[in-house]
Amino acid sequence: MMTIYHKIKPKSLKSKLFLSLLILIITPLIVLYLYLFNQFEGALQDKIVTQSSKGLDQVQQSTEDLMSLVYKTLVMVQNDKVIYDVLTEPEKYTELDRVHLIERVLKNIDNSIFLFNSQIVYYTLLDEYGSVYTSFQPQQMLDYNAIKNEHWAKQLNVDRPYLWIANDPNYVVRDVTSSKYLLTLGSTMRNTDNTPFSLARISIDYEKWFKASVHSDEEHQYYLIDKAGTLVSSFNSGLVLDSQVLHFFRETTEKGGFYFDQRTDSLVNYRSIPQLDWYFVDVIPRKVLFQEIWDLKVKFFSIFIAFIVLFIGINMFISYKFTKPLTVLEKKMSSIVKQNLKVTISEKNYTGEILQFIRSFNQMTTDMNTMVKLLKDEQKQKELVHFQMLLSQINPHFLLNTLNTIKWLAIRKGDKDIPDICLSLGNILETSLHSEVELIYLKDELKLIEDYLLIHELRYNDQLNVDYDFNSGMDYALVPKLSIQPLVENSILHGIAPLKGQGNIIIRIFTENKLLYIEIEDNGVGIQEQNKAQKGRSRKGIGLQNLKDRLQILFKEDGKLEVIPLEHGTLVRMQLPYLLSSPYEGG
């Protein structure tokens, strides 16, 4: 062994450097990067599984909420006096009146509970006298006795007043719903004496509801599978579900989890809906998970190998040319390291590359000293800016507290206008103080506009008219805080104020090509007159430029602000991405 070791042991310094570089740097780096990539893949997988699990948990909760709403509907139908009278005393009404009364009550209950989508709920009521009432058009004439003798109806009793039917065959006309199955709640409705007076069947087109709630795409394929391993719905998924996946759900007893299916090379994430013996499944192809990482890995290692080859070549060249002079330089540098950065190496007695090294080193120490000084100055500047920022927040808080004081003084004296103005101005100041929030709902921004306009009502009386032109569906679009108010303020101060006569402002909001456009149009004096008036000002306005800078910082090229002169007045158009946020419904 020793003989072999001595034969392969590098003799020259160049070879020793190369071997050291290979063993101590290149190999550990390769191992490290492979480990990091594997860790990154695992972290990415965990993140995707977590995101998928959150989505499945939301669908599970939504399903349970939907079932709760259906049960609540059943209770409301059972407790409704009109329905009870019609079903228990049908002889008091004509057949047409009974149908109209029950349809009206069912429609009112349906609209009060299922505001989001009432077209997915279908009601069937049977009295004890052979009549059937529905809220829909059935595929074929409903037979009273056939419904009473269905399996689910026979299972109902005092101890089991209601029953969920997971895969109830669709009995609604195909023009209304084309789903194969419905989710049905069957129940025996009883009065306060616990005497049955009606058989109720409330069905949901769950496939239509699920398709509206979740959408399959290239990254996520959603399925609904029952406990027997039968595919219930595929939610527009184009991926054929493998039989091995269906077999897994026939065997599993877990309520939720994930696993990798080797045959489809996919991550399968699932959650159970125990009340219905269903599994909601999210299938994520592995190529979607790791394709980008694999491409990045190939590119990285290509660049890494090229860099290593170049680095080895340069290292070998330097070690060959400058081994001895570098030793001298290393000793000098070591002695300098023990001193401070202000010490430099004398350039005397050196020429060629070594002289260049020394000059570079001296320049490096000079630059480092300069950099240290700049960093210290920058730190001082940051502390000063932070102090100024804290100080700047004192004044708005002081103003807000002062406004509250003025408001209460005015209320005591019976003044009605000043408290309203103080309240509106306080809302604007309070919004400006929330520096941690940059984007707010459009409806909240428009509320600030209303507060601002309220301040100007006393001054302009009926000479200022503001109209709004936008869709209420945009209420939860996200816009920069205090972005529309400066535009309205600009129109009033520079366009409407100098105008002799009625001033009109139109706030127009619309979307186009995934962009949100906000236009402020006025019939004021126009841009030319505004420019003439501003020539004599000692302090130029900064509102529009400030808004332009904010849009550029927030949205880059998608954020724009332009001022368009009109024949009578001015139009200011603001462009930003259309970001529609869901309202918080947590209660």
Print the SS3 string covering 314-382: HHHHHHHHHHHHHHHHHHHHHHHHCCCCCCCCCCCCCCHHHHHHHHHHHHHHHHHHHHHHHHHHHHHHH
Task: Give pLDDT, residue 385.
Answer: 46
Query: Do 165 and 201 form a contact (C-beta atoms < 8 A)?
Result: no
- Kind of pairing between the strands at 478-480 and 278-285: unpaired
The pair of three-digit structure tokens given for residue 83, joined into one six-digit string: 């329905």
Give CA–CA dist 15/22, Å, rounded: 10
Amino acid, single-letter form, for residue 388: Q
Task: Give pLDDT, residue 18.
Answer: 66
Of 165, 159, 177, nearest in space to 121 by CA: 177
**What backbone torsions phi and psi does residue 449 show, to the nearest 5 degrees?**
-60, -45
Task: Give pLDDT, residue 577.
Answer: 94
Please report, for residues 42, 254, 518, the alpha-carbon distance to residue 45 in angstroms, rounded to integers and kept in the order given.
5, 21, 41
Q: Give the pTM.
A: 0.45
Q: Per-residue pLDDT tens, the chain, 587 aa: give them.
A: 556 655 566 655 556 666 777 777 778 878 887 777 777 777 777 777 888 888 888 888 888 888 888 889 899 999 999 999 999 999 999 989 999 999 899 888 888 776 555 568 899 999 999 999 998 889 888 899 999 998 888 888 878 888 888 888 888 988 888 888 888 999 999 888 888 999 999 998 887 877 777 766 667 778 888 888 888 777 655 556 778 888 888 888 888 888 888 787 788 888 888 778 888 888 888 777 667 677 777 787 788 788 777 877 776 666 655 555 556 556 656 655 565 556 666 777 666 666 776 777 777 777 777 877 787 776 776 665 454 444 444 445 445 555 555 655 556 666 656 666 666 666 666 666 555 678 889 998 898 888 878 777 766 767 788 899 988 889 899 999 888 988 988 888 888 888 888 889 999 999 999 999 999 999 988 776 766 666 555 444 457 888 888 888 888 899 999 999 988 889 999 999 999 887 654 44
Distance of CA 498 to the CA centre of its chain: 44
3-state secondary structure of 566: strand
Q: Kindly state the helix (H) or strand (E) to which residue 206 belongs, with its residue range.
A: helix 206-213
The pair of three-digit structure tokens given for residue 199, joined into one six-digit string: 């058989």
The pair of three-digit structure tokens given for residue 79, joined into one six-digit string: 């407790």
Give CA–CA dist 361/124, Å, rounded: 90
Of 222, 202, 201, 221, nearest in space to 210 by CA: 222
Task: Give pLDDT, residue 67.
Answer: 86
Task: Give pLDDT, residue 333.
Answer: 60
Give CA–CA dist 310/565, Å, rounded: 60
Give CA–CA dist 544/550, Å, rounded: 10
Give CA–CA dist 341/363, Å, rounded: 11
Give CA–CA dist 583/441, Å, rounded: 9
The pair of three-digit structure tokens given for residue 428, joined into one six-digit string: 């604007």
**What backbone torsions phi and psi does residue 183 show, to the nearest 5 degrees?**
-100, 120
Of 460, 470, 459, 575, nearest in space to 514 by CA: 575
3-state secondary structure of 201: strand
Q: Which residues contact 537 (CB under 8 A, 6 or more apart)?
A: none
Give CA–CA dist 166/183, Å, rounded: 5
Please report, for residues 176, 269, 278, 320, the alpha-carbon distance to residue 170 in angstroms, rounded to integers and kept in the order given.
11, 29, 18, 85
Of 505, 481, 474, 494, nearest in space to 580 by CA: 474
Cα-atom radius of gyration of the chain, to the nearest Å?
38
Sheet holding 266-273, edge to edge: 231-233, 221-226, 278-285, 266-273, 256-261
The pair of three-digit structure tokens given for residue 509, joined into one six-digit string: 């909001």
Task: Give pLDDT, residue 389.
Answer: 45
Numbers of helices and strands, H then E, in the chain: 16, 17
Query: Do 23 and 10 form a contact (C-beta atoms < 8 A)?
Result: no
**What backbone torsions phi and psi does residue 193 show, to the nearest 5 degrees?**
-90, 10
Query: Tokens 């070879």 belong to which residue?
Result: 15
Query: Do 158 and 193 form a contact (C-beta atoms < 8 A)?
Result: no
From its phi and psi, is residue 8 left (phi > 0), alpha (psi between -120 and 50) or beta? alpha
Give one DSSP letter per residue of 260-303, joined into a string: EETTTTEEEEEEEEGGGTEEEEEEEEHHHHHHHHHHHHHHHHHH
Which DSSP symbol is given to 442? H
- Kind of pairing between the strands at 231-233 and 569-577: unpaired
Please report, for residues 30, 163, 437, 516, the alpha-carbon distance to residue 474 in angstroms, rounded to integers and kept in the order given.
52, 41, 19, 10
Query: Do 572 and 520 form a contact (C-beta atoms < 8 A)?
Result: yes
Q: Which residues contact 306 (CB under 8 A, 6 or more apart)?
A: none
Give CA–CA dist 220/282, Å, rounded: 6
Query: Do 236 and 216 form a contact (C-beta atoms < 8 A)?
Result: yes
Report the C-alpha dihedral over residues 363, 364, 369, 370, rounded to 10 degrees: 70
- Beta-bridged to residue 440, according to DSSP, are 479
